[in-house]
Structure 1
Amino acid sequence: MTRTLCARLAGTARGRNRDRGSYALETAVLAPVVIGMLLLMIAFGRVTSAAGSVDGAARAAARAASLERDASSAQASAQAAADRSLQGEGVTCQASSVTVDTSGYAIDIGQEATVTATIACTADLSDIGLPGLPGSKTLTASWTSSIDTYRGRQ
């Protein structure tokens, strides 16, 4: 009876030795997958954050444009407000454009009018270094703000 017990224990020890190194192999296989997922989460977070910042910049640009009295001042004010907003949020754009629809300034006083600011920002993603991820993404946001109905316009 003792001999059978010893044989069984020896067999169990040999079975454990067969699994040696399996944790290292699992780690070597799973580590790139986990790192890739982390980089993908970082990229997604950066794009989401930048999209929110571009939306905020569009809102600031439309508001700044709506406070001006003429279309040319509105365009300049919107551009400056968008630049300040993006810079304050820490978003750097490879290329950006601010377009302001100032047709509301041509409407007579006493009638409702609006100004719309549209911002396009190309965010850089090349520093993440995840294969298959595009090097940049263009984010666009638009916002409309009311012009004071009874304020003079030129």
Structure 2
Amino acid sequence: MEAILAIAAIVLVLLLSVAAGRITVAGAAVEAAARDAARQASIARTAAAAKSNAEASARASIADQSLSCTAVEVTVNTKGFSRPVGEPADVSATVSCSVPLTDVAFPGLPGSIERRATFTSPLDPYRSRGT
């Protein structure tokens, strides 16, 4: 009887460890994707290209890290592209990912958890930019 209780406790600890590890890895992957997206947006010449480059970069970064997201959302703030050349400006990217936890099968865990990260990258003040 004690062995069954000990085994059950060990299994619960393992399941919680798997869930915590997945959440931690997902958070780091989403932060890296946001950083990559902001960097790619900051080297674009136009706001439209910045949004496109950021989206592609974030999705590629998440795929490269083998993170399975049920939903990925990339939002890029390109207001800095409307500032005149010579003035400091920046661009920011926010990446969110819904990480599934249904396969962990631990009572009380949600079906998925959302991880979100935002990163800001400066625009070159002396490079031409278009909206």
The unaligned stretches of length 5 or more in structure 2 are: none
| TM-score between the two structures when normalised by the length of structure 1 | 0.83
Pairing partner for 1:95 from 71, 79, 95: 71
The structural deviation recorded for 1:93 is: 1.0
The structural deviation recorded for 1:26 is: 1.1
CA distance in 2, matches of 1:117, 1:91: 19
Tell me what 1:151 maps to: 127
The structural deviation recorded for 1:63 is: 0.1
Moved over 6 A (4+): none
The structural deviation recorded for 1:35 is: 0.4
What fraction of aligned residue pairs are identical, expressed as a percent?
Answer: 41
Counterparts of 1:1-154 in structure 2, within 5 Å, are 25-154=1-130
The alignment of Structure 1 onto Structure 2 pairs a total of residues equal to 130
CA distance in 2, matches of 1:92, 1:32: 28
| TM-score between the two structures when normalised by the length of structure 2 | 0.97
The structural deviation recorded for 1:68 is: 0.3
SS in 1 for 2:24: helix
The structural deviation recorded for 1:132 is: 1.2
The unaligned stretches of length 5 or more in structure 1 are: 1-24
Bigger Rg, which one: 1
CA distance in 1, matches of 2:68, 2:47: 27
Measured on the aligned residues, the alpha-carbon RMSD in Å equals: 0.6
CA distance in 2, matches of 1:61, 1:126: 28
The structural deviation recorded for 1:33 is: 1.2
The structural deviation recorded for 1:83 is: 0.6
In terms of fraction of residues, the more helix-rich structure is: 1
The structural deviation recorded for 1:131 is: 1.4
Matched residue type, 1:92: S
CA distance in 2, matches of 1:55, 1:63: 12
SS in 1 for 2:128: coil
Matched residue type, 1:109: V
